[in-house]
Structure formats: C-alpha cells, structure tokens
Amino acid sequence: MTAEAGVQGNVAEGFEAVREEFAALLDEGITTSGVQLAACVDGRPVVDLWAGDGMECDSLTAVYSVTKGAAHLIVALLVQEGTLELDREVADYWPQFAAEGKGGLTLRQLLMHQSGVIGADGGFSKAELADDRLIAERLAGQRPFWEPGTAYGYHALVIAALTGEVVRRVTGQSIQELFEERIRVPYGLDFYLGLPEPLEARWLDVQPMEPTREQLADLVANAPARDSLMGIAFNAHAKPPTDLVRFANRRDARALGQASGGGVGNARGVAGMYAAAISETGGRAPLLKPDTIAEFGRLHTVGTDVVTGDVDQFGLGFEAMGVRYPFLGPDAFGHSGAAGGMGFADPASGVAYGYVRRRFAYPPGGGAAENDRLAQAVVRAAAGV
C-alpha cells in the first residue's frame, strides 16, 4: 500500500501537487510517527494534510524553536507601534542586564543573537530551563561568552527569555500573555505558549530520532564538547545535560510555554499565525506592515555563527527565509524547529506555511530536509492559481 492511502486531509483546487509531494515523502519513509502540513495563500487555507501513527488534524505536539517566531512576532508588533526601539540599549529597559559589560548591547543586536549570553555558567536546572523568568534572572548577571555585538551565535534556549524580559519590563506583561491576548485568541489558533491542562488529551509526546548505524556513528563523531559554545547554548554542560526530547515531554515545560522552544501546536496553528502576520484574515488587516516585515525579515547576520559553525540566515528574531529558500521572496521570514518543524510567511507569494513532525529528523538541526520540497510545492501551486 502506498503512502497516499494513509494521507488524510484535503487541498484546495490547484494544490493537488502538494498532496502528491507529501505522499511521496511518506513513501520515502520520512516518518511513521506523525506529520502535519498546512498552508494558506492570502489568508485562505489551501493545504491541510496529516499522516502517521496517532496523528490527527488537531493533534498537538512540541514545535521547539518554531516558538521563536511567535515570540518575535510580538516584539515586531511592539516595535511597529513604537513601544520598543530597536537601536535603544537593552539596559535602558532592563538595568540589571548591564552587568559584566553588556550595557552597550542594543535590542537590535540582541535580536541578531549577538549578546554573547547563550547560557549560564554551570548550566540551567530543569526547573530554570522551563521558566523564562528564571532564565532571565540568571542571565542578567551572566558574563557573556564573547564581547557583545562583535559576533553572532544561536541563542538556542534563551533568546526569547531575554527579549521577553525586555517586553515584560516595558508592558508589564509577558510575551506569553501578549501572544495569547493579541494573536492566539483573536485568530483562534492551535498554537500555545503555555498549553492549558484541558488540552492535554490532544498532546502527543515527542519521539526521539531513529538513526541508522551509520547515522549514529556520525552523530557520535560530531557531538559537540559539553563546554563548547554549542554545548553551552544547548545546556549540555548542565548536570544532568538537557535532553530536548525529555524537555518537551515534561508537563511543566509546555505548561509554562518557554518562548525560545517550549511552544505547543499543530501545522494549522503555525500556518494560521503567519497568515495573520501578512494577510487580511477574518476581516482583520495584516498584523505587520510592509516596512516592519522588511526590517525584521531581511538578512542581518553576515559570516559564521560562532555557536553552530554554520552560515546562518537571521533577520531580527526570525530566520531570513528568503536566503534559506531561494524560491521565496526577499522578505520571507519565519523559524524552524529542532524536531524538523517549520513555519514561515512569504509576502511575495502570499504563502503562510506550517509543518510539524513528531519524531526528530536526521540530520539534526532546525527544519527537516523535506521542508524544501514541501514548501517549494506550495509556492509553485500558489503561483499557478
């Protein structure tokens, strides 16, 4: 039996090729543990597909760093409204952050992952890592791991605790509270920065990667040292070191909605959020204006990420998706997630995209490889209708 028989959901007329690509990837064995794909064009849902063991259309699971897109959509809104200023120093909003030579860092530089405080000496405890307020409290006095503003490196588990503390100091509300009030509830999104207890019945545990023997050997050979910048950024130097699968599967982590990687949702919720950002949705104007999108979505980082060793594609808080995926427009913005999920908005095509997978993909890193084929199929279909 082909994977097509296991694909559930529907696509709008003209998007049949997206369903075919989704089924083909399932035939190739991307996962049997559950995947979801959703997309909107100009605010209109056009793709809603799912497959895999236990996965339903409204199942919820961890989306990891896709959460950063939700957090920084709030920051973009506050900048757009004049509540926050990109070139103002973080310490103007949060005086305690000036400790250990961090006083000159601007909000723009923080959003560019340039603060140097990628983790804490000795690592975070499990309770600390689940709670943005505790992370921010530790990092306010933390010495940076490089001179702030001189390099950039992925602040994997902490970036939205830092930007979130700026938001809290100015507005009196957390990023989680603002996301709930301004975005999730008004648009009815299945995307939560803090999963309510009554929705636990729809939760599916994240599942670990299933590498082949060769892949496992590669993972072991290339594992970062615990005290390297990569190890610190992913809290591998803590005792015990953080296991990302166990982190997401803890109730306290998803209940608090840690804004760098603790979000919970499904593909519909992710795509719906990005549709609201760029398109008229439900009679509401787009959340973001074109100049805000251009500022936050354009490439800001140049060179090599000192944490990951990769040439990254960061705008402000978001990944610059037009650089990652050349078939997107130059202002496309979004964020990938550790298990392989992805969310983005492409103003040029009007596409808002959400992909969620339950099992970690190989190779590790944000955004599983199948997103290239799926996203390209969506954009091609959008251009033809």
Cα 155 versus chain centre, distance: 12
Counting every residue, how long is the chain? 385
Contact 329, 348 (CB under 8 A): yes
Sort strands 333-336 and 319-320 into parallel, antiparallel or unpaired: antiparallel
pLDDT (0 to 100) of residue 1? 37
Model-wide pTM > 0.85: yes
Closest CA to 145 of 300, 306, 302: 306
pLDDT (0 to 100) of residue 58? 97
Question: Given CA atoms 377, 319, 221, 125 in this order, what sign does their dihedral have?
Answer: negative
Residue 90 DSSP one-character state: H
pLDDT (0 to 100) of residue 2? 47
Give pLDDT < 50 ranges for the chain. 1-2
Cα 268 versus chain centre, distance: 15
pLDDT (0 to 100) of residue 4? 57
Residue that has been written with the tokens 């190890």 in this structure: 231
The Cα–Cα gap between 317 and 377 comes to 26
